[in-house]
Structure 1
C-alpha cells in the first residue's frame, strides 16, 4: 500500500488584463493525504472544514470518482486527511486545487500512468481555462494558453522581495455569477489595450520592474464589469501605484482583490490604507501572502505492511 501526499498552492488569476491567461501562485495551500481504505472517509482541518470534509457534493471526490469511471477503472475508496489553508469561493483558485487533487488521486490509485503534464491538461479541460490550474500545478508566475485540446504554459519565479495582500469580503461569489456580467464582445481598442498590458506585465514580473506594474495591471475587459458584483475592487484600485502598492487587481473572478506589494516592510502600512479604503463595506479579511515559487508537491510514500 501507499499514501499519496499533495500540497497545492492558492492562486490569483487574471492579474488585471490577463483574463484567462495570467496567474500567480500564493503560499497558502491545500494539503491532502490519501490511502486506500474499505470505505470513503475524510478528516478535514483548516478553513472551511465542513465543506472539505463532506462526502457529498465534494468537488475533489467528485473529480476522483468521475475520472476513474471515465477510464474504466474500479472505484477505490480512500481515507483522506485534508488541511485547507485558503478560503473557498473567493477567487483564490480553490476549484482548480480541488480538481488537480482529484485528478492526481485518480492517476495514482487508478494506475492511469499519467505524468504531471497529463494531470495539468486534464485539470485545464475541467476548468475551461489554463490560468488557475497552471499556476497551482507549476507555481510562480504563469502565462498559459488553451485551445480546448492543447495546453501551453510558461512559468518563472517572481521577484523574491514582492509580497501580496488579498482582501477578502465575508461572502463568496460564484464564478458563474461573475462571468454572467461580462459582455459577449469587445471593442478593438479595449482588446489592444489589454494585449499591450499583458505583454508589459509579464515582462515586469520577469525583470522585477515594479515601476511598470500599476499601468500594466490596468484592465478594460473584465474588471469594469465585475466591479458591479465585487464592490471591494473600485475602493482599492485607487491604491495602485501608491506608497508601496505596485498594482491592484481582482483576484480571479472575485470577490477578493489582490494587492501586489513592493516588499515585506511595506505590508503594515498598506494594510492600514486598505482598511481605511474599505471600512464602509463591512468586515473583510486581509490575507498576507508570499509569492509561491515552487511547483505543487506530489509525493508517494510506501506504507509498511500490517
Structure 2
C-alpha cells in the first residue's frame, strides 16, 4: 500500500448564497479563492495556524480556528491516528460580508482531511459533512461542487443538484467596509411572511433556474427579485438599495444582496461594461463616506480542489 501523504494544499472558492429569491437553497461559486495548506506534524506540536490576507488579525488561532475544527471533525470520524497540524491560510474572501468565508474554512478542513486519509469520501458525501457543521448547505455545496447548486436537506442528508449555466455571465461584486454578521442579518427577518410573498419567491426562484439553464437571461431582471429576506436586510446596509438600482440603470440584469450581506452582487451580460456598473454601484456608498472594494468575477465551475 502506498504511503499516505503528509501535506496538502486546498483551494476553495467564495460563494454567494440565496441568489436573490432562492433563500437558503440556491448558491453559486465565484472566482475568488481562499487557499489552505495542511501539514501533519507530531501530536505534541499541537495546532499552529498562520494566516495571511483578510482577517489575519481577527480569526481564531489554534484548534479553535474553523479550518482546524473541521479537519479534526472528519479526521477523527475516519478513525485516523492522532496528529498535530500546521495550517497556512491565504485569505482573499472578505470576512463577515456574505461571500462564504466561514464555508471556505469548513470545506478546506474537510477536503484536506479526506485527501490526507486517501480520499474515502466523494464530493457529495463531503457536502453532507460540511452542512452538518455549517447548519445549512447553500454555501458549502457550491464551495465543494462549483457552479450553481440547488440544495435540499432531507432526513439529515443534503441533496445538491449542480447546474452549469447555458452561457457566460459576469458577476460584479461590491464589498462595503461594513461587516454584517449572519446572526444580525438573521435577526432582521420576520418569523412569518404572507402567503403571497412565498408564492412570489417560489415563482421567481423557478424562473431564475430556468433562465440560467436556458440562456434566456433577459428573465433575470424579474427572476432575481425577492421578498423573503432582501427587504428586511437592505436597511442594514446604508446605500445598498440605491446601489442595486444604479446597477440596473448601468446595464446589469439585476443585483442582489450576497448571502446575508453586506456584499452586493450584480449579474451582468457577458458583453456588459462591468467597470461602469461597478462604479455606479459605488457612488451611493461614496456619498456616505464608506469605503468599498470591487471584484469582477465569473462563476467557478469546479469548486474546492487539491492544488498541491
Determine whether 1:98 maps to 2:105.
yes
Q: Offset at 1:29?
A: 0.7
**Aligned residue in 2 for 1:25:** 29
Alpha-carbon distance between aligned partners in 1 of 2:276 and 2:100, rounded to the nearest angstrom? 27
**Aligned residue in 2 for 1:191:** 198
More displaced stretch, 287-296 vs 36-45: 36-45
Q: Offset at 1:79?
A: 2.1
**Aligned residue in 1 for 2:292:** 284
SS at match of 1:86: coil
Determine whether 1:8 maps to 2:12.
yes
Stretches of structure 1 that go unaligned for 5 or more consecutive residues are 302-306
Matches for 1:1-306 after TM superposition, within 5 Å: 1-38=5-42, 39=45, 40-51=47-58, 54-55=61-62, 57-69=64-76, 73-109=80-116, 113-147=120-154, 149-239=156-246, 241-263=248-270, 265-281=272-288, 282-298=290-306
Please tell me the root mean square deviation across aligned C-alpha atoms, in Å.
2.2
| Contact residue 172 and residue 255 of structure 1 kept, 8 A | yes
Alpha-carbon distance between aligned partners in 1 of 2:92 and 2:38, rounded to the nearest angstrom? 17
Q: Offset at 1:152?
A: 1.1
Say if 1:108 and 1:76 are closer, same or farther in 2 by CA, change over 3 A. Answer: farther
More displaced stretch, 93-102 vs 234-243: 234-243
Say if 1:63 and 1:165 are closer, same or farther in 2 by CA, change over 3 A. Answer: same
Q: Offset at 1:63?
A: 2.2
| Contact residue 161 and residue 264 of structure 1 kept, 8 A | no
SS at match of 1:227: helix
SS at match of 1:249: strand
1:145-190 deviation digits (Å, cap 9, x = unpaired):
1135121111122355311111111121111111011111111100
More displaced stretch, 255-264 vs 226-235: 226-235
User: Between Structure 1 and Structure 2, how many residues are aligned?
Assistant: 300
Spell out structure 1 runs of 4+ moving beyond 6 A: none
| Contact residue 10 and residue 92 of structure 1 kept, 8 A | yes
Stretches of structure 2 that go unaligned for 5 or more consecutive residues are none
Say if 1:32 and 1:53 are closer, same or farther in 2 by CA, change over 3 A. Answer: farther
